[in-house]
């Protein structure tokens, strides 16, 4: 498990492109028959990718956690962005299609991942956060995620938001998780831009065509930086940083938050005309 420490706004403002990518970009998350994990000291979130192809993959108990098992003091959210797959947790099986989710609460001891078809493997994106209370394990389909339509084609940001783990959905200690799908012809996400210093956030971009890229905007509103991202890459967004972007085509992205509260609407706006 890779460990990444926090960066202040002051030092981030002086980083080169290489340094920005080393600190905030998470690449090669979906590797065949591998579980990749990155531990961020922003709210102690663990970012992961699991792509079982020829075998079942078991969630490891990383030594850095100093725990008897991975979820002894943690919870986890999982969204599938590939073919049909199964998440098994302490003997219970959750079969999930693309864009469906599973939540596993604190105390779940054994977790494994399997694909239904090796020729169309599942790709599980996961986020784990510290937890102080046990909430029940559960799954959520795309239809159950209360889709909300936002934006407009005239401003190239027509999109649908699906909320899976939140105050009115799957319950958790501090994790909030869902995804956004942009319509053809729309490329801008998370507009209007904002920050929320009470929570960090992770974006995972998917369904980005091989020849296309997403320009992810980060940094303070008057000190912006950007990362150019490819398919199935994640970005760590510090609580003080904005997190929005645009692509060279439409795409989807998973968003996951952790921190002081679970209010999806808790945002500090940064109007477009004020950005620098």
Query: Tens-digit pLDDT profile for the chain (276 aa)?
Result: 999 999 999 999 999 999 999 999 999 999 999 999 999 999 999 999 999 999 999 999 999 999 999 999 999 999 999 999 999 999 999 999 999 999 999 999 999 999 999 999 999 999 999 999 999 999 999 999 989 999 999 999 999 999 999 999 999 999 999 999 999 999 999 998 999 999 999 999 999 999 999 999 999 999 999 999 999 999 999 999 999 999 999 999 999 999 999 998 899 999 999 999
Structural domains of the chain, with CATH:
2-274 (2.60.120.10)
Residue 51 bridge partners (DSSP): 32
- Residue 84 in contact with residue 64, Cβ under 8 Å? no
Best CA proximity match to 150, nearest among 142, 140, 161, 141: 161
How far apart CA 159 and CA 88 sit, in angstroms, is: 32
What global pTM score does this model have?
0.97
Strands, sheet with 188-189, edge to edge from the N-terminal-most edge strand: 188-189, 244-247, 214-220, 223-229
């Amino acid at each position: 498990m890779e460990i990444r420490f926090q960066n202040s706004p002051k030092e981030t403002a002086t980083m080169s492109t290489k340094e920005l990518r080393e600190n905030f970009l998470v690449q090669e998350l979906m590797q065949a028959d591998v579980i990749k994990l990155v531990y961020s000291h922003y709210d102690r979130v663990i970012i992961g990718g699991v792509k079982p192809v020829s075998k079942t993959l078991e969630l490891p108990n990383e030594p850095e956690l100093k725990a008897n098992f991975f979820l002894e003091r943690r919870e986890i959210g999982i969204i599938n962005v590939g073919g049909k797959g199964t998440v098994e947790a302490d003997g219970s099986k959750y079969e999930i299609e693309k864009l469906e989710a599973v939540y596993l609460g604190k105390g779940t001891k054994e977790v494994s991942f399997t694909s239904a078809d090796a020729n169309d493997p599942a790709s599980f994106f996961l986020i784990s956060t510290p937890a102080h209370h046990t909430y029940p394990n559960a799954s959520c389909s795309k239809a159950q995620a209360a889709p909300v339509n936002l934006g407009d084609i005239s401003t190239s940001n027509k999109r649908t938001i699906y909320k899976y783990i939140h105050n009115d959905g799957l319950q958790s200690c501090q994790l909030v998780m869902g995804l956004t799908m942009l319509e053809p012809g729309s490329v801008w996400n998370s507009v209007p831009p904002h920050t929320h210093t009470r929570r960090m956030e992770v974006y995972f971009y998917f369904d980005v065509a091989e020849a296309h890229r997403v320009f992810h905007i980060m940094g303070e509103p008057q000190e912006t930086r950007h990362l150019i991202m490819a398919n199935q890459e994640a970005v760590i967004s510090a609580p003080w940083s904005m997190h929005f972007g645009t692509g060279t085509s439409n795409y989807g992205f998973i968003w996951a938050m952790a921190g002081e509260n679970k209010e999806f609407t808790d945002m500090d706006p940064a109007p477009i005309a004020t950005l620098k």
